[in-house]
Structure 1
Amino acid sequence: MLGESEGTTGDATIEEIGRRRTFTRTLSLAIVLFVVQQPMVDAVRDNADSVFACSIPGRLSLLVDGLFICAYVYAAYRAYKYVRFLKRPGWQGIAALGSWLVCLAAVLDIIEDLRLWDAFGAVSGVCPGMSTGWFTWVMRGVWAAGVLILAVCLFATSRYGQRKLFGNQPTPEVTFKRVQDQGPDAGRLVICCSGGGIRSASFCLGALQLLSERGFYDKASTVIGVSGGGYMAAPFHVLRRTCADPFSPGSPELSRLRRQTRYLLQGGRAMFRAALSVLFGLVVNLLLIGIVLRAIAWVLGWFLADQKVIVQGFAEIQVDWRPNGSWWYLALSVFLIAVSATMFVVEKVWDRWARMPDPVRRALTTVSGVTLLYGTPVAVLLLGVPGGLYLLGQLPGADPDQPSLPSALLALVDPTKQGVASFGALVVVLIGLGKTVWSGLAVESKEATGLRARLVAFARTKLAPWVGSAIIVVAAIIVLLRWTGGYAIDRSYQEDWSVAVVLAVVVIAIKMLTDANRTSLHSFYRERLSRAFLVTRKDNGAAVSLDYSLRLRYSEWARPTDGGPQLVIAGVANVADPDFVPSERDCVPFIFDAGRIGIVGDRSLPAGGRRETADYEREADVLKREVTVPAAMAISGAAVSPLTGRVNSRTRPVRLLLALLNARLGVWLPNPYWNNRAEPAFPEVHGIAAKVRRYVGSVIDKPGPYRLLREAIGSPSMYDRRIYVTDGGHYDNLGLVEALRREPAQVIVIDASNDPEDRFNALGEAIATARMDHGIRIDLDPAPMIRGGKDRADRAWAYGIATHPVKDGEDKPYRTEIFFLKAVMAGRLGWDLEQYAASHADFPRRSTGDQFYNEWDFEAYRDLGYVLADSLTTHHRVKARLEDLDADGNITQSQ
């Protein structure tokens, strides 16, 4: 159970718990598929005298058995990987033997299924049954031997088995101790570029230009980019590798950038590719949902008909909750829920009369949780579907003149013109709702005034999300009911085995041709960012985009060359474990660093969350495409996602809608806690055979459709093999917390967040987060930046001090100076900025939902960043403090 796992007691690593849970989930799936087969096997046995009567349940059982074979082979593989991970001497080879025996049994099982399939296709004679004689018994013997060997290995290598069999308890490998070493930027300057889309990119560009001109950029040791701030932090860093004055005034790359301010949809070709990207993911998502619903309807429809729960009446469906006067069906429907309730009652009664041992309590709680988990969908399917069919009253063969729902909804699964029109209308409605919802959510700081504005805001942010999700759920229910009804009362449905072939071909094609990352909008987003912002200056003076096929590996391109800062991009890993994150936070920082990449955070996180970046790049993708500079830019800016970290409370109602419509910019990456070794877990390989194995393994290991379900309705976990990484602003939109974690002497924060005026929400959240997660206390008062009743603020910057906790062996705390620069109207500005502000009431707080700027918009925000950064660095006290840095960026005076 989360919150009570071994991860919180220090008895197991995250990877150990995660591998065990992964195996347990796969084993549970195999058990469920085995149980689902049993009514079909019983039906074959009951109709042993007629091949005609037993052919449908027999062949349907073989189809389910095909899924069961895949599940138990996968479970055996994961059991072997778990034993191998534990590194108990001698047991790895035995576990490998067990897994190979299970694989051999799977091959024999497939051969048996093929032979039985032909036997069930006979037009006359007796039912062949579910056995092929001695061949079946050989297969079962091999399977049982493999399963027994794996079970023994799992027990013998477990902590309980080690203690009982060998009398030793392994030393825990996990630690929560904070490393007391010096920060990577100790004594240096760090620059932070905040999130905020193209608004922040423009503002940060102006500020970086000024800092570069004054020499502060080259003295910095690190530049941290968050979301839109990364749009410019990364290009500035990359271009500086080849030229000394990146994006300087009048430079060709700055002129080119002004032509790319509509970077997402720059030109007709980009619009076309964007539409295709959305449509591709939407089609794949609908196909996957349709396959799942069809499979459930096939099995459920046959079962309801076989049990005589559903029968075809003269004009409408008839539902008999007690077929043949027996209570058996109703008891079956609620059995698992009853077991869950019984375990709860037993726990309470036992606790009333005696002290219950913790192992017993955990066992009862586990049984209660598992039975509730599986009992709820069983009850919904066995009770809800028949009831829904009765209410629907519109099945194949029923009276078409008396529908109980609008015909447009009922036609969703009909291959007619009306069905196609209904399906198309449903998609259009959902897309419209999705656009409306996101437009409402993207208005971060607009306070509605007036009754009409408040009603519109309520409809967009509160009503529309639930309406969209409700439409999806209702449509899925109708499709499930229609298909289930067809399989229950129409034998032609049941005997159409070609459907199974089509479904299998579609599943294989989706697995072979794409994955959960490729169906998302990440690839399109990454390419657009790369082509718009990542440029190089040619010898002839032209500025052109870097070749998109060039792999800008983060381990190489984020490092500084010839001085200057390194590039750090901040994202978040979405996790919901109460073991590691507070309630409603739902994320931990995920940092792209040239040396070590991965999860960082407070002391509640165990050590081992970061990996060597080069090794991680090879694990994420054999072609090294997933962990690059443009990929990090896109991931850090993935604000449009079903999972959004700390802002999940706002987007939770629309998660299902965003996932279905493919509004997904986040990326599933390997969990850095897994495969974290002293030596590289994925070293460079040489030789054709080794490269082929690595390539095939990498392609097969890509995130599958199950990840889409986790995005839509699941709870992502730190224990999972893959984590969902999105916008860094979902944790700290300033990058200040990550900067302070690195313990620099000074931090310049360039903030273009769209906070409500005079509130500085992003700063307040960063101050509280630094104190909660790292014990760092920040003394910074933004009062001089508050406009209040004045025309504008006195200035656009504030000075503060961050005090770090005292380390072991030290007698005084370490302190960091903070220079906080905010995009606000302050002081006297140039006439062009004054005129632009007079014409644009929302300047400089234009909604992040609007990413389409023209040259005037871009220049206004760029120049504002330049002017305000100048006002900061020319102030005599700030100038004196920043000039304490020597040419190498080290502080020259004591704090």
Structure 2
Amino acid sequence: MLGESEGTKGDATIEQIGRRRTFTRTLQLAVVLAVVQWPMRDAVHDAAGSPLGCEVPGRLSLLVDATFVMAYVYAAYRAYKYVKFLGRQSWQRIAAIGSWVVFVAAVLDVVEDVRLWNDFGTGACADLSTGWLTWLLRATGLAGAVVVGVAYLASSRFGQRMLYGVRLDPPATFRRIRDDGRDNGRLVIACSGGGIRSASFCLGALQLLREKGLYDKASTVIGVSGGGYMAAAFHILRRTSADPFSPGSPELARLRRQTRYLLQGGRAMFRAALSVLFGLVVNLLLIGITLRAIAWVLGWFLADQGVITRGYTDIRVDWRPNDSWSFLVLSLFLLALSAAMFVLEKVWDRWARMPDVARMVLATIGTFSLRFGVPVAVALLGVPGGLYLLNQLPGQATDQPSLPSALQALVDPAKQGLASFSALVVVLIGLGKSVWNGLAIEGKEAAGMRARLLSFARTKLAPWLASAIIVIAAVVVLLRWTGGYATDPLYQEDWNVALILAAIAVAIKVLTDANRTSLHSFYRERLSRAFLVTRKDNGAAVALDYHLRLRYSDWAKPVDGGPQLVIAGVANVSDADFVPIQRDCVPFVFDAQQIGIVGDRSLPDGGRRVTDDYEREADMLKREVTVPAAMAISGAAFSPLTGRVNARTRPVRLLLAVLNARLGVWLPNPYWNNRPEPAFPEVTGAFAKVRRYVGSVIDKPGPYRLLLEGIGQPSMYDRRIYVTDGGHYDNLGLVEALRREPAQVIVIDASNDAEDRFTALAEAIATARMDHGIQIDIDPSPMIRGSKPRADRAWAYGIATHPLKEGEEKAYKTEIFFVKAVLAGHLGWDIEQYAVANPDFPRRTTGDQFYDEWDFEAYRSLGYTLAQSLTEHHRVKARLEDL
């Protein structure tokens, strides 16, 4: 990053920058597709009079042109949306007119493509033209592009200064986000993450706090990941029961029957397998059609340039076809331009002072040329080089060019190909399981050489091996298909493939989206059916009907004076503008009043939306922002993007994305469409509802998001953000609790820290100080076991001092009561015996989510006992009663 960006300076809002980037990326795609068509059009022109020589490049050009049409229509539409966002009514109307003109040109372009498609192969052709229709669509498209471009430039920073003399952009501020004061002077309860282990422990602690009257006394209960399961369950059940999950209650008995909530019974296991398989198939289809399309265009181009030719039994590669350097120059031009910009900057800086504007221009040109230069060089030089190297290996001698038989079997539609492909999938699934086990044990000390070697293989070797296998398989497929399209006429003339690819792409877009192919829907349903219950009039405890829309704006509100429900997640972003190196996330909070991104003062204001409006934007049917959805999102620990723990999961991001091990969800960016009035009000009328419904379905996150999960860098400027486990920022919920400035906080911690280290607490202390300037003074040393048989106690007391605000003479302070799942003091005989039989108690790995009734009861009872030891201490009891 060179200096400060517009976002960090406040020169433009997040939405403004994001909309501009979205338009720029779409325009770049359109330009790339236009450039790709040039050699095809030249080939058609050179093959004038030869129907056979004209058909392949001509029809291939039309296929690329179909994608180009969609790209420039989207570019025009996004330019119009940018102008509309800036609020220039006159220019908005002009941009709308220009967009419609571009759309008309696109329709004419499609008509032209259909006519030309039927003409190819039936006679000689001179050019990709239909006479007057071609000239009409070009004139129409150019006119529309000029109109949209004028409106866009007039609304830009340059245009504003030229036309108005001042900038009229929406202001961006960095004011401190202040809440409505609901928690000020009140009690907040925070339930930590930790899967079923934390849910069980927090259940016991919440039962005790309810008995003491502290639960009903609290203003807010914050849930993170597994703690969110039970925080939500308590909150929902309180609507129909005054004593939720009390000892001997039907809902507690039912919960004990749901301790294997993820795969409870054969039906759940069947649906889990289908969910994984469905997403895996869709992911492989997306990868396959992308590789096939690239191979088709690349193979034809390399053959047309004479770089790849067909030998008798092999593929021949000529880096200088016809003894010309033009191909090598074309392949390396953009990389050379990037290097030239860098050298020019250094030389200029050597002899004179370089203005910041000039430095920025050179850096922009260099970055842009590098961004496109690397893939161009890899495609034009790396693919032929790969084909050459593979054909040097011992292969199967045939009368057609081929790859070595062992590699070819991976991609050929033969029995051995299918078997090899199936074996590949099985290997990846096995590696995925090994990686999951490795992530669960990482950070723990392994006893013995065998255990250490196994741990090293799972945590270090398996992640990289799995990603390497995926990359190698994709490269082999790309090489095979590229070689086929470059040398085999049967590949080149099979136009039915284009229809199949298009049909697959349309089916994926229409039938599913990036959220529906993930495991989120399955996970959300399982959590809802296991934890969200209601007590019927006859005393039975039953699961809430899953089809009910438990809208967060309604169901998370306080009930009869009790606490409200807040669920903590994170939005994964990698902007150096706003997040420190390797943090890769900002906190995302589900609140009944306002939902969205909260954080330190480096984040601009406007990151939170009115929850009711946000629910309608996320989905017209209001299914995406519900209590079960928030529970599942906050517990989405198993995802390709994992916030602060990305360093651990980065080697397996690609594997997790391909295998569909994705629990995170793409939600609308709350910085976008953040208006004083609702951006998505309730609609009335059949036509308006149908239009909103269709728009909501079309607007779901597309397959491009899978690429961002696997290998991309999600940005806070994007229209959608990827929200995952709240523990990826603060596993205790303590930072969010302190941000709300309560008088007291009770933290229920079931994190899986190594014994005596209290890592989650240490990270929360540092985060609160870094992000909010809050100083936390707490001493957990009485909880350290050390060489003693057992720790003295399982709780600690601390004070959080908030930064002094303007006009205040004394800093605001918050009392912290911290209770952690450790073995301390006198415990019940059942817990003692369970601890003897289970040496890892109470730090059972989060990777194990399958508990039986003994496991569940041991952690529940421990939570109850330790919370009791906290609240019955005379000093703590007095402090809590004074509130």
Task: Give the TM-score normalised by structure 1.
Answer: 0.97
- The whole-number CA distance in structure 1 between the counterparts of 2:3 and 2:96 is 33
Match of 1:295 in 2: 293
Give the AA of the match of 2:5. Answer: S
The superposition leaves residues 658-684 of structure 1 with CA deviations (integer Å, 9 ceiling, x where unpaired) of 000000000000000000000000000
Match of 1:232 in 2: 230
Give the AA of the match of 2:52. Answer: F
Give the AA of the match of 1:845. Answer: R
Cα distance, 1:243–1:12 mapped onto 2, change above 3 Å: same
- Counterparts of 1:721-800 in structure 2, within 5 Å, are 721-800=719-798
Cα distance, 1:171–1:138 mapped onto 2, change above 3 Å: closer
- Counterparts of 1:572-651 in structure 2, within 5 Å, are 572-651=570-649
Match of 1:891 in 2: none
- The whole-number CA distance in structure 2 between the counterparts of 1:661 and 1:187 is 48
Contact 1:116 1:128 in 2 (8 A): no
What is the CA distance between 1:413 and its match in structure 2? 1.5
Contact 1:26 1:75 in 2 (8 A): yes
- The whole-number CA distance in structure 2 between the counterparts of 1:181 and 1:635 is 23
What is the CA distance between 1:394 and its match in structure 2? 8.8
Match of 1:16 in 2: 16
Deviates more, 1:183-192 or 1:580-589: 183-192
Match of 2:153 in 1: 155
What is the CA distance between 1:424 and its match in structure 2? 0.1
Give the AA of the match of 1:418. Answer: Q
- The whole-number CA distance in structure 2 between the counterparts of 1:6 and 1:871 is 53
- The whole-number CA distance in structure 1 between the counterparts of 2:319 and 2:366 is 26
Cα distance, 1:182–1:519 mapped onto 2, change above 3 Å: closer
Give the AA of the match of 1:433. Answer: L
Contact 2:396 2:404 in 1 (8 A): no
Contact 1:344 1:364 in 2 (8 A): yes
What is the CA distance between 1:445 and its match in structure 2? 4.6
Contact 2:48 2:54 in 1 (8 A): yes
Give the AA of the match of 1:554. Answer: Y
- The whole-number CA distance in structure 2 between the counterparts of 1:388 and 1:529 is 48
- The whole-number CA distance in structure 2 between the counterparts of 1:201 and 1:619 is 31
- The whole-number CA distance in structure 1 between the counterparts of 2:320 and 2:145 is 39
Match of 2:870 in 1: 872
Task: Give the TM-score normalised by structure 2.
Answer: 0.99
Match of 1:341 in 2: 339
Contact 1:22 1:78 in 2 (8 A): yes
The superposition leaves residues 56-84 of structure 1 with CA deviations (integer Å, 9 ceiling, x where unpaired) of 00000000000000100011100000000
Contact 1:183 1:741 in 2 (8 A): no
Cα distance, 1:868–1:400 mapped onto 2, change above 3 Å: farther
- The whole-number CA distance in structure 2 between the counterparts of 1:805 and 1:212 is 32
- The whole-number CA distance in structure 2 between the counterparts of 1:39 and 1:403 is 25
- Counterparts of 1:16-35 in structure 2, within 5 Å, are 16-35=16-35
SS at match of 2:587: strand
Match of 2:822 in 1: 824
Give the AA of the match of 2:492. Answer: Q
Match of 1:810 in 2: 808
Contact 2:314 2:401 in 1 (8 A): no
Contact 1:221 1:566 in 2 (8 A): yes
Residue 327 of structure 2: which of 304, 326, 329 is its match? 329
- Counterparts of 1:184-195 in structure 2, within 5 Å, are 184-195=182-193
Match of 2:66 in 1: 66
Contact 2:396 2:402 in 1 (8 A): no
Q: Percent identity?
A: 78
- The whole-number CA distance in structure 1 between the counterparts of 2:863 and 2:307 is 71
The superposition leaves residues 811-848 of structure 1 with CA deviations (integer Å, 9 ceiling, x where unpaired) of 01000000000000000111100000000000000000
What is the CA distance between 1:179 and its match in structure 2? 4.3
The superposition leaves residues 595-654 of structure 1 with CA deviations (integer Å, 9 ceiling, x where unpaired) of 000000000000000000000000000000000000000000000000000000000000
Matched, 1:206 2:191: no
SS at match of 2:542: strand
- The whole-number CA distance in structure 2 between the counterparts of 1:862 and 1:215 is 19
SS at match of 1:90: helix
Contact 1:76 1:99 in 2 (8 A): yes
Question: How many residue pairs are counted as aligned between the two chains?
Answer: 883
Match of 2:110 in 1: 110
Match of 1:37 in 2: 37
What is the CA distance between 1:136 and its match in structure 2? 0.5
Give the AA of the match of 1:118. Answer: N
Match of 2:555 in 1: 557
Cα distance, 1:221–1:181 mapped onto 2, change above 3 Å: closer
Contact 2:17 2:717 in 1 (8 A): yes
Match of 1:306 in 2: 304
Cα distance, 1:138–1:197 mapped onto 2, change above 3 Å: same
The superposition leaves residues 247-267 of structure 1 with CA deviations (integer Å, 9 ceiling, x where unpaired) of 000000000000000000000
Matched, 1:685 2:683: yes
Cα distance, 1:422–1:3 mapped onto 2, change above 3 Å: farther
- The whole-number CA distance in structure 2 between the counterparts of 1:171 and 1:209 is 53
What is the CA distance between 1:541 and its match in structure 2? 1.1
What is the CA distance between 1:405 and its match in structure 2? 7.2
Cα distance, 1:2–1:617 mapped onto 2, change above 3 Å: farther
What is the CA distance between 1:180 and its match in structure 2? 5.9
Matched, 1:88 2:104: no
Contact 1:394 1:403 in 2 (8 A): no
Contact 2:746 2:818 in 1 (8 A): yes
SS at match of 1:791: coil
Q: For structure 1, which runs of at least 5 residues remain unmatched after alignment?
A: 886-895
What is the CA distance between 1:401 and its match in structure 2? 10
Give the AA of the match of 1:806. Answer: L
What is the CA distance between 1:450 and its match in structure 2? 2.5
Give the AA of the match of 1:94. Answer: I
- The whole-number CA distance in structure 1 between the counterparts of 2:629 and 2:170 is 36
The superposition leaves residues 766-818 of structure 1 with CA deviations (integer Å, 9 ceiling, x where unpaired) of 00000000000000000000000001100000000000001111101000000
Contact 2:182 2:219 in 1 (8 A): no
- The whole-number CA distance in structure 1 between the counterparts of 2:134 and 2:278 is 43
Match of 2:75 in 1: 75
Residue 461 of structure 2: which of 456, 463, 471 is its match? 463
- The whole-number CA distance in structure 2 between the counterparts of 1:566 and 1:401 is 73
Contact 2:2 2:360 in 1 (8 A): no
Match of 1:511 in 2: 509
What is the CA distance between 1:407 and its match in structure 2? 3.4
Contact 1:394 1:402 in 2 (8 A): no
- Counterparts of 1:831-870 in structure 2, within 5 Å, are 831-870=829-868
Cα distance, 1:400–1:440 mapped onto 2, change above 3 Å: farther
- The whole-number CA distance in structure 1 between the counterparts of 2:506 and 2:5 is 36
- Counterparts of 1:28-427 in structure 2, within 5 Å, are 28-122=28-122, 125-170=123-168, 173-179=171-177, 183-393=181-391, 399-400=397-398, 407-427=405-425
- The whole-number CA distance in structure 2 between the counterparts of 1:180 and 1:864 is 37
Contact 2:745 2:817 in 1 (8 A): yes
- The whole-number CA distance in structure 2 between the counterparts of 1:405 and 1:375 is 28
- The whole-number CA distance in structure 2 between the counterparts of 1:266 and 1:51 is 63
Contact 1:530 1:548 in 2 (8 A): yes
What is the CA distance between 1:126 and its match in structure 2? 1.8
- The whole-number CA distance in structure 1 between the counterparts of 2:404 and 2:635 is 42
- The whole-number CA distance in structure 2 between the counterparts of 1:506 and 1:170 is 45
- The whole-number CA distance in structure 1 between the counterparts of 2:676 and 2:396 is 67
The superposition leaves residues 191-222 of structure 1 with CA deviations (integer Å, 9 ceiling, x where unpaired) of 00000000000000000000001100000000
- The whole-number CA distance in structure 2 between the counterparts of 1:429 and 1:248 is 47
What is the CA distance between 1:409 and its match in structure 2? 2.9
- The whole-number CA distance in structure 1 between the counterparts of 2:170 and 2:410 is 56
What is the CA distance between 1:166 and its match in structure 2? 2.2
Residue 454 of structure 1: which of 449, 452, 461 is its match? 452
What is the CA distance between 1:169 and its match in structure 2? 2.0
Match of 1:888 in 2: none
The superposition leaves residues 454-506 of structure 1 with CA deviations (integer Å, 9 ceiling, x where unpaired) of 21111111111000000000000000000001001111110100000000000
Deviates more, 1:769-778 or 1:5-14: 5-14
Contact 1:241 1:560 in 2 (8 A): no
Give the AA of the match of 1:119. Answer: D
RMSD: 1.5
